[in-house]
Structure formats: C-alpha cells, structure tokens
Amino acid sequence: MRYVGWVVKAVLFLLLLGFAVKNTEMTVVRYYLGIEWHAPLVFVLLVTFAAGVLLGVAATASRVFRGRRVALSGRTDRVPPSQGFEEGA
C-alpha cells in the first residue's frame, strides 16, 4: 500500500512539472495606477494559489483555536443527554 502512495505522488509531481514547463511564457499582471508585474504564467498561478491557501487558513484559524481552547478548558455549553428531559412529562 505504501508503494501505491509513492506512485500516486510521483505521477502527480510529473503532471505538475509538465504543467509548469508548458506555461513558462511571460505574462503581465496589471494593477491600479499603472503598476505592472511581469512574471512567468506558472509563477503567477503559484502565487495566486498560495495566497488563496493562506487566506483560507487565516479565515479558519480563529475557529480552530477557539474550539481547541474550549476543548482544553473542559467547558461544555450543552446539556448532557441524561438531563435534557424528564420522563413522563
């Protein structure tokens, strides 16, 4: 099973390497006020992907840390199932 994982990783690496080799032409990213950035297309895509990942991690980090803090403190806001209702009511 371990070899299957290595084969999948190698194939994925080769596919991404081929994508990078095919997209080496220069592209221009234009910002406001006439600012331009000249870079290879694959680099622009990599930077855009990395920025999206960082924004996603930053957006979820507060919830993760809050949940960890609550779990470590032992505090529960829920009523245990045995105390949630009275029998015969």
Q: Please report whether residue 62 resides in a domain.
A: yes
- Residue 71 is predicted with a pLDDT of 72
Cβ–Cβ under 8 Å, residues 47 and 37: no
Strand 36-40 with 26-30, pairing: antiparallel
Residue 26 lies in a domain: yes
Q: Give CA–CA dist 77/80, Å, rounded.
A: 9
Binned at pLDDT 50, 70 and 90, residue 68 comes out as confident
* Domains: count for the chain: 1
Looking at the predicted structure, is the pLDDT value of residue 51 above 80?
Answer: yes
Q: Which domain holds residue 46?
A: 16-74
Please list, in sequence order, all residues whose beta carbon lies within 8 angstroms of the beta carbon of residue 41, skipping any fewer than 6 positions away: 23, 24, 25, 26, 27
Q: Is residue 83 part of a domain?
A: no
* 5 is a domain residue: no
For the chain, how many helices (H) and strands (E)?
A: 2, 2
Residue 65's beta-bridge partner residues?
A: none
